[in-house]
Structure 1
Amino acid sequence: MMAEFAAANEASLVALRGFVLTGGEGFRSEWQRSLTQLEMTEGAIVADSRDWTDGAKLFQLAELRRTSRALVAQERVLAELVGTPNRFPGLRLYEEDVDPAFAEAITLCDRTLQSIMASNWVGTKESVDTLARLRGHMRLLRDGFAIYLPSGEKAMSPDLQSARLALRDAAATLAGIRGKVSPADQVGLDRLTTLLGSTDRKLEQVLALKQTPRWDYADYAFRQKVLPLAERISSIVGEWRAAS
């Protein structure tokens, strides 16, 4: 029974890892079968333990059952993450909040550019040049992050880093041309400044997560939550088998 329990524990771990790496339904089915076998074997060990006379071994069995329940719970949570946006919380934040904000900011920048050029206000040329370059940086960021964030790369490309710095300086840049456009266009610049400020704060959260093991939360949970529990079970079973 101990050998069967150890084998089921290892099989569930291998199948779950395969499911995390590939998302394949074959691995998911194998993992579910292994969990069933694990629970059945644990039940047989519990039934057998009614004849045990070794208190230390009974105490270990209680620990094994607690650890097994915790392991199965963690594995089920992990399996539910695979194939969902919740697996990559930073990417989900980018796609749901940051990217739409970039799209809105680019549209607002376009609209303000057209208004400034039509107004023929003093300083129009400099203002148009500044906004056009900012619009270019935002487009580069949208295109670049669509490639960088899903990749396994930790460092951004030099072009992406440069555009990122330009975005962080956007508030000062827009403030520098605010007095050189008409009052109506100043309103557009103010809205753009507010939008880019909130977008930059969310983007900072995304990029911070990108540098941590928690970016792929399924992989993180497997290594930090599932593996230690599985290893503890293997240790207990190993002690029993060595003593038998």
Structure 2
Amino acid sequence: MKYNRILLKLSGEALAGSQGSGVCNEVLNQICDEVKNLHKMGVEVAIVIGGGNIHRGVAGATKGMDRTTSDHMGMLATVINSLAIQDCLERKEVKTRVMTAIEMAEIAEPYIRRRAVRHLEKKRVIIFAAGTGNPYFTTDTAAALRANEIDADVIMKATKVDGIYDKDPVVHKDAVKFEELKYIDVLNKGIKVMDSAAISLCMDNEIEIIVFNMFEKGNIQKVVIGDHVGTVVKK
């Protein structure tokens, strides 16, 4: 395998599927089946998921809500999604731990770096919830931060399209796909694959980002064994 320890970044919107909001059981099962297959291969898997299917902090702020309050609501939304993934994986006999940046001991463990690494070494899937625990930081930044802290080999950014394009391929039929990009190119071109804080953090610590289509069966396994899938962002 090319990558032994990965951080999988999922968007909250992906969990909603075609229903637009909430958690779609069909999508949830599909994602968890892919994670189970990785677990069987012996890959150490950590997951960061957004909360956009329930509440987006930025969207709330644009409608007049206090940004800090709205972001805290978004963090709680990621906890709901994390518990849904945990339940689905456990039903598939994959041992998991949810670790939250905001302490809520009754439903999840507090995030402690050494404990997280130990869980991975014991082949438990970790789901990092509540972002960084701070407002004004996205779950993309949380993914970059946690990937650095647990010494992940790669960040796998799951999307609905098969990589990074120069413009939206859904709207523009002439959109051109990038096979490979440098971190600095993503920043200079203003490509909205991850926010600039997340890209800068990965650039400073040379963690590769692979952007791929989560909904094409087997893509995750292809990435892990070194097949070229999607777009690679690297030094």
Q: Which structure has the greater CA radius of gyration?
A: 1
Return the TM-score normalized by structure 2: 0.26
Specify which structure has the higher proportion of strand. Answer: 2
TM-score, structure 1 normalization: 0.26
**Bigger relative CO (Cα 8 Å, ≥ 6 apart):** 1
Greater helix fraction, Structure 1 or Structure 2: 1
